[in-house]
Structure 1
Amino acid sequence: MTQFDSSTLRMVQLMEKLAPVEGYNLSVLEDIRFLRSNRPLTRIPVLYDPGIVILCQGRKRGYLGDDVYVYDAQHYLVVSVPVPFTMETDASEAEPMLAVYIRLDMQLASELMLQVDEALGPSDSHPKGMYASPMDGLLRASTLRFLEAMSIPGEAQILGPSLVREIYYRILVGEQGGSMRVALNRQGHFGKVTRAIRKIHSCYQEHMDVETLAHEASMSVPNFHLHFRRVTDSSPMQYVKSTRLHQARLLMLRNTMSASTAAFSVGYESASQFSRDFKRFFGRTPQAEIEWMKATYALPALSTPSIYVSSH
């Protein structure tokens, strides 16, 4: 057995314990989730918070416009800004999908980026909202050490944070780390669009129009439209709508809200319009979607999840 095979096998063994139930398994570290899926999932709409997804077993494919992002035991996924895309999962009872999700700690990332830029010089890479990269030996070894520590309660609390920091470092200096550093620095057009995206996620329940978002980004409306689509493969108002729909689904699932109450809570003025948009977006009525979600996913009791329900 090669070193690669043995380390992958060990990571799967550890993940079987860290993610014993299907769905989202919490950890002692607030920003860490261990995910498990025992069944394949066809293309569904998802919206990730900024974060890192490392698969130990199984395969996921993300579709954003014409781009396909494959992440599996040999590739990890990085999301620098929340982008709506569709995703499918390869998994089975015999070989479940097992993944580590690390919600991005912006303070930690910024601190490390400054140190990396001082050591290596600023990056001139093109910023990306999302990318998949090969797992090299150093990142694989860091991930294995992290999983070993997380499997022991005392070590998880004491050593876990420093090992998360090590994983951040490996990614920031990795093949596409320069793109991540530039994206998180939020400079240029990418940074301006990111400011508008932050506004959408913090105020999605309020009235929002393109002019307001363009002003938030300090851009003209035509320029804002152009660069927003380049970052998200979506128009600004399509993005607002998808954000509201994802949030409404969370409210219905976690807080047992009715469709109409959830609709008004996320900024819709018409419950019937919300139901039409919801079915067009998710492919099911709100009631049918929530019934399907409850039958499909096991969710931790959180009011504000680190990763959106639809991202499993």
Structure 2
Amino acid sequence: MSDLRNPASTKMIHLLEKLAPNEGYTQSALDNVRLMRSDRPLGRTPVLYEPSIVIVCQGRKLGFLGDAVYTYDAQHYLVLSVPLPFSTETQASPEEPLLAVSIRLDLLELSDLITQIGASGHQADASPIGITSTRLEGDLAVATLRLLDALTKPLDAQILGPSIVREICYRVLTGEQGAAMRAALAHHGRFGRVARALNRIHTDYAKPLNVTRLAEEAGMSVPAFHANFRTVTQTSPIQYIKSTRLHQARLMMIRDGVTAAAAAGRVGYESASQFSREFKRLFGRTPVDEVRDMRESFSLSPAVRFGA
């Protein structure tokens, strides 16, 4: 997939242009698959990704977490085993918009697949990782093309779509970084304890969250929990909780049209002024300015309807 002008790549781009006609995110016929589009370049932007596979067919994104930089473009895909706030830079233009597909990972759905891969002799003896960019190999690219094609046909999407998604997950889990991703998604060891804490934060971000209690649930002392948490996320538990709440509030304001005060309350802030201060500290501008400027980039459009 190194040449964007080859027939397979051209078809992927054509299909994505139909599936994602609007900037931002577009839902597909499958709940766990969304399409991404940007018609303009974007500088460093804070984002929060769920555990997912992101395959870019046109354009380029750079992800920044700590000192590491992750490239995902037509030659590389991004995969996350845990939910992570980081920042991205988007390279796109009206003539060549960024076009990508994002597949949300569900550990319950993947557990059987991981078990089968392990039973076949593929041992997850690598160190677990939370995020990586990996070369897009031929089999994975072909499966992605088939998924995009199926999504334009309602019956194909319903019947074939889930099995193609499963194949894509299989290709990722047996690919170049597959062992490390399987180790991470299996939630074993200290990485797994932190991963479970991250999932708890994302489920209960609007509720009071106590770091001491999270450490106890992870079976670690508070200092050990802080150290292992930072290894996985490049930030502290308190900052991660705060970032998660602010990202969720931004999406509520953009996608649901709620006010900053209402969003603050929904994500667990008791003080609207504190929310506004911390929001500006993370995103670099007020909630009103952020929503106005990022509405297109983070909007969520309904799935495009295609004929039977």
Task: Give the TM-score taking structure 1 as reference length.
Answer: 0.92
Displacement of 1:295: 5.0
Aligned to 2:43: 42
Q: 1:80 to 1:209 in 2, by over 3 A?
A: same
**Aligned-partner Cα distance in 1 for 2:3–2:95:** 23
**Aligned-partner Cα distance in 2 for 1:139–1:120:** 21
Q: How does 1:146-295 map to 2 (within 5 A)?
A: 146-294=147-295
2:166 partner amino acid: R
1:250 partner amino acid: L
What secondary structure is seen at the aligned counterpart in 1 of 2:141? helix
1:163 partner amino acid: I
For structure 2, the residue ranges without an aligned partner over 5 or more in a row are: 304-308
1:124 partner amino acid: D
Aligned to 1:305: none
2:13 partner amino acid: V
Aligned to 1:124: 125
What secondary structure is seen at the aligned counterpart in 2 of 1:213? helix
Displacement of 1:89: 0.5
Aligned to 1:64: 65
Does the Cα contact within 8 Å between 1:52 and 1:103 map onto a contact in 2? yes
What secondary structure is seen at the aligned counterpart in 1 of 2:179? helix
Cα RMSD over matched residues?
1.8
For structure 1, the residue ranges without an aligned partner over 5 or more in a row are: 303-312
Q: 1:57 to 1:41 in 2, by over 3 A?
A: same
Q: 1:256 to 1:15 in 2, by over 3 A?
A: closer
Alignment length, in residue pairs? Answer: 302
**Aligned-partner Cα distance in 1 for 2:135–2:118:** 22
| CA deviation profile, 1:103-125 (whole Å, cap 9, x unmatched) | 11222211110110011232111
**Aligned-partner Cα distance in 2 for 1:155–1:261:** 41
**Aligned-partner Cα distance in 1 for 2:141–2:186:** 26
2:33 partner amino acid: I
Displacement of 1:224: 0.3
Aligned to 1:11: 12
Displacement of 1:14: 1.5
What secondary structure is seen at the aligned counterpart in 2 of 1:196? helix
Q: 1:2 to 1:259 in 2, by over 3 A?
A: closer
Q: 1:147 to 1:104 in 2, by over 3 A?
A: same
Q: 1:236 to 1:3 in 2, by over 3 A?
A: closer
**Aligned-partner Cα distance in 1 for 2:256–2:61:** 29
1:76 partner amino acid: Y
Does the Cα contact within 8 Å between 1:21 and 1:298 map onto a contact in 2? no
Q: Which moved more, 1:248-257 or 1:1-10?
A: 1-10
**Aligned-partner Cα distance in 1 for 2:68–2:166:** 29
